[in-house]
Structure 1
C-alpha cells in the first residue's frame, strides 16, 4: 500500500530518531522545494529550524561581487555598485558567472582589464543567451525595430513602468531583438499600477506592429509577451484580488507534481466563477492593449525617428532614448496613460 517515497521517508525518520539520545549531533539539510516536504520531517526534534536563503539584496550583491572580483583585473570605469544595482534577482552563482563571462570577453578582445562594456555584454549573455548574427537591413528588421521601440515607448510614457535601460536589434537566444527594463530598486511588493503598466509595456510590441503595419502583418514575435501578459492578468484576478471579483484568492501558487502531490488538479471554484475570471482577465488585457495602441498613435513621429536610429546603430541606451522622447513629449505629465480599471 505504500510506495518508494514513503519507504525513504520512514527510513529517514528512523535514522534521525534512533533508539538512544545522541547529544552534540546536528543534522543539516538543504532543499530548493520546501513546499513538498512531509510535515513529519519538520516536527520539533527533527528538522525543527528553517533558514530561508533568498536571492541577495543590493547590499548582498555588492559584497558578493567584491569577493569574486578580487582575482580579476578591473578597469578604472568599473563600479561594483552600478553592477549590483543592475542585477536584481541575481544569485551568488549568477554574479560569479557574470564576472567570469566578462573576463572571458576581455581576453577575447585582447584587453588588459575588464571594462563596463564587457560587464554589459556579460549581463546580456547571462540573462538572454549567446549573441547571434545581426540581421541585414530588410522589412523584417524594420518590423522588429518597430516592435522593440513599441515596448520602449510605452514603458517610457507610462509613469509606473520601470525605466528603459536599452533597446537592441542584436539577436540573443531565441529573441530577434530585446528591450531591457531596469527597476530603480529591489521590489519586494508590486503595486496594481505597476502590474498594469507592465502589461501595457509587454503589449507595446504587438500594438506597434498593428498600428504601423496593419492587422494582417502582425507576427509571432509577441508570443512570449502574450504569455507574460496572460499570467500577470490572471494573477491579478485570482491571487491578488485586483479585480471586480473582490479581495479573494481563488488559486494558490502552482507547483509541479512532485513528492506527495496529487496527480489530479482540483478546481477551487465553480464554473460560473471560472467564467467571470476569464472575463476579468480579458477586460484587463483589452484595456491595457487599448492604452498601448493609443500611446503608439500619439507618439508615431518620435517612434519613426527612433526606429531609423535603431536600425542605423542597432542599440540605443535608455538615456539617449528618453532624451529623444522628451523633445516630443513631456513624459512625467502623461498620467492619463495609467490604465484605470
Structure 2
C-alpha cells in the first residue's frame, strides 16, 4: 500500500475550495486562525488517517515475523496491552506497527517474552506509559479557543450594525434616540396650524435657544422641560419638531417605551447615554413621546409597581434636575394621560411648563385644512370653511385623514379633482362608516325611514336643539341602518337645561315615531344606542349638573378608576340608598317626560311625517337645510314652533314608576 498518496480528505478540500472558507464577513484574524487550524488538523490527522487505512497485523502474523527474524525491536506497553514493533527492512521515517496483546498473565513471563528472547529481539517495556496525550489536549483546547474567537467576532460585527434589531446585542445600554440635525428637520411654525396658543407659548422656548443672553442678563433661567398635553392626533410631535426647526438646533427624538427593556438597569443606562449625547450637542432639544410609559406614578398599582420602570424614572428625574444639571438641554415631552404621571416629574425645575394642545376650533380646523390641502387638487366647489364647520371635534390627524380619504375616493371614481361630494363622503366614512348597498323596498326600509325622520323632524322643530346637518337611510358598515346627524354649535360655551331636555327629546324621536306609526308590538331594537345615550345624559343632569328636584348638588364626580394606579378598588357610592332611589326616579321622570313630548310632536305632525318619509324613501339622503325647506314647503310654519315648556310638569315619583309611556303622551 502506498502511504505517500494524498489522503482523500485533501482531495475533497481541493475539489471544493469554498468549504475551507470561514463565515462571511470575518476579519483577517479569523482567517489566519482558520488557516492555522486547518494546517494543524492536516498535520495531526493525515498520519492517523493513513494508519487507519492500513490494516494492523494480527498476533499470529507478528509471531511469525519474530520467528523469521524480521523484527528489529519491540516496545511493550503493558497498561494499554499494545506492542509496537519495527521491521529490519522498514525505513526510519515510516511509523511503527502495533499489535494488540491478549491474555491475563504477565507478558514478561509468558510465551510472548520467551519467543522474543529466543530470536534476539530488542524488547523495551513501558509499564505505565501510553500514547502521548499532549497533542490531543492541545488540539481540543485550540478548537475551543477558535470557537470563542469566532463567536466574539460575530457579536462584534452584529453590534456594529445599529440599523437592525440584532445589531443591539452589545448595545443594550445605549440610547435609541433618533438624531436630527438642523437641515434634516424641515418643519417650522408655518407648517403647524390650529394650535396658535400652544405655538405662542413655545415661541419663548425658541427665543431661549436662539438668544439665551437676553434672559440670563436679567437673571431668568432657561426652562428645563415643557410638557405637551392633549388628545391624540392634535399635533404634539409636529409641534416639537417645529420648535427644533425654528430654533435651528439638534433634535433628539425617542419614545418612552424605548427606555424599558427586559433587562434590569437598561432603561437607566439609556437615559444616562441620551443626556450625555445631548450635553455634547448643547444647546439642543430632546423630545420624549408618550412619556407616561416611563413616567407613571411610582409605587402605585398591583404589586407596588415595576422596579425597572421606576429605576428608569429615577434616573430621568436626576438628569433633568439633579446635582450636575443639564444646561443647554431642553426636554419636550408629550402625553395624553397627564393624570398618571408622577408628581416629582411635574414639579417646577423639571417640567416648568405644561402646554395644552387641545382639539382645534373652527378657525384652527380651517387653518389645518389649508395646510393639508396644499398638495391636494381641489375643485372650485369645495369650500374649506364649510368643511371646517362640518367637522367639530376633529383633530389635526383626523382632518388630514378626511382629505386623504377624499383623494382616494376621487381616484377610485376616476375624477381629476376632489369635489364636495367626495369630501362629504369621506367625512361620513371616517365618522360613521363606509356606505353599503341601499335597502330593498321592504318593511325594514319603511321602518328605518320613519325612525330617522322622527329624529330629523324633532331636531328641526325643537327650539334649543342643534340644527340638522343630514338625514339618510343608506346603511353603513358596522350595522348602522341609517342616521340623522346634527351640527354642534361651537358658539355655545355652556349648555343650558333646555338644551339637555331638547337633546333627550330628539334622541327619543326615533322610538316615538316607531310607536306612533307601527304600534307598541312593532317596536324594534334600532333605538338601543339612543336609549343608552339618553340614560347617561339624564343621569348626568341629576347627579353632576344639579338639574333636577334633588337640588344643586353634585352627587357623583368624574373620576378615573385606574386599577394600575391604585384606584377603583371600591365602587362605594357617595350617597345613601335613599338618595340612590331618588336619583333613579328623577332620571326616569326626565326620560318619560321627554318621551311624551316626542310622541306628542310626532302625533301632531303626522301628515308632515308621512310626506317627509316618502321623500326620504325616494331620495335616500337629504341635507339639513333642504330638509327644513321641504318641511316649510309641506305646510309647516317653522316660525310658529310648538311651545316647549320651560318647566317640566309635576309628575309624582309613583306615577313615573308605574305609568307606562303611553299615558304620558
TM-score tier, shorter chain, comes to over 0.9
CA distance in 2, matches of 1:243, 1:186: 26
Moved more, 291-300 or 253-262: 253-262
In the alignment, structure 1 residue 60 sits paired with structure 2 residue 367: no
Equivalent in the alignment of 1:75: 379
**Residues 148 and 167 in structure 1, CA contact (< 8 A), matched pair in contact too:** yes
Equivalent in the alignment of 1:129: 433
Equivalent in the alignment of 1:108: 412
Q: SS of the counterpart of 1:153?
A: helix
Moved more, 263-272 or 232-241: 263-272
Compared CA separation, residues 106 and 306, structure 1 to 2 (3 A): same
Q: RMSD of the alignment, in Å?
A: 1.8
Moved more, 169-178 or 296-305: 169-178
Equivalent in the alignment of 1:285: 591
Compared CA separation, residues 188 and 31, structure 1 to 2 (3 A): farther
Match of 1:168 among 457, 472, 476: 472
Equivalent in the alignment of 2:310: 7
With CA pairs under 8 Å and 6+ residues apart, which has the higher RCO, 1 or 2?
1
CA distance in 1, matches of 2:565, 2:496: 34
CA distance in 2, matches of 1:314, 1:261: 51
Equivalent in the alignment of 1:307: 613
Alignment of 1:6-45 (within 5 A): 7=310, 9-45=313-349
**Residues 57 and 186 in structure 1, CA contact (< 8 A), matched pair in contact too:** no
Q: SS of the counterpart of 1:179?
A: strand
CA distance in 1, matches of 2:608, 2:553: 42
CA distance in 1, matches of 2:470, 2:645: 22
Alignment of 1:1-341 (within 5 A): 2-4=304-306, 7=310, 9-173=313-477, 174-257=479-562, 259-264=564-569, 265-326=571-632, 327-337=634-644, 340-341=647-648
Query: Runs of 5+ in structure 2 lacking a partner?
Result: 1-302, 649-665
Q: SS of the counterpart of 1:28?
A: strand
Compared CA separation, residues 93 and 338, structure 1 to 2 (3 A): farther
Q: SS of the counterpart of 1:336?
A: coil
**Residues 302 and 324 in structure 1, CA contact (< 8 A), matched pair in contact too:** no
Cα deviation 1:142-183 (Å, max 9, x = unaligned): 001100000011111101111111110111132100111113
Once the two structures are TM-superposed, the CA of residue 256 in structure 1 deviates from its matched residue by 4.7
Query: Runs of 5+ in structure 1 lacking a partner?
Result: none
CA distance in 1, matches of 2:398, 2:350: 32
Once the two structures are TM-superposed, the CA of residue 29 in structure 1 deviates from its matched residue by 1.4
Cα deviation 1:302-331 (Å, max 9, x = unaligned): 101111111111111212221222233222
CA distance in 1, matches of 2:344, 2:577: 36
Report the TM-score when normalising by structure 2.
0.50
Q: SS of the counterpart of 2:323?
A: coil
Moved more, 327-336 or 218-227: 327-336
**Residues 85 and 185 in structure 1, CA contact (< 8 A), matched pair in contact too:** no
Moved more, 73-82 or 311-320: 311-320
Q: SS of the counterpart of 1:27?
A: strand
**Residues 460 and 467 in structure 2, CA contact (< 8 A), matched pair in contact too:** yes
Compared CA separation, residues 91 and 208, structure 1 to 2 (3 A): same
CA distance in 2, matches of 1:332, 1:39: 56
Equivalent in the alignment of 2:162: none
Report the TM-score when normalising by structure 1.
0.95
Compared CA separation, residues 256 and 97, structure 1 to 2 (3 A): farther
Please tell me whether Structure 1 or Structure 2 has the larger radius of gyration of its CA atoms: 2
Compared CA separation, residues 51 and 279, structure 1 to 2 (3 A): same
Q: Which has the larger helix fraction?
A: 1
Q: SS of the counterpart of 2:415?
A: coil
Compared CA separation, residues 227 and 63, structure 1 to 2 (3 A): same
Kindly tell me the number of residue pairs found equivalent between the two proteins. Answer: 341
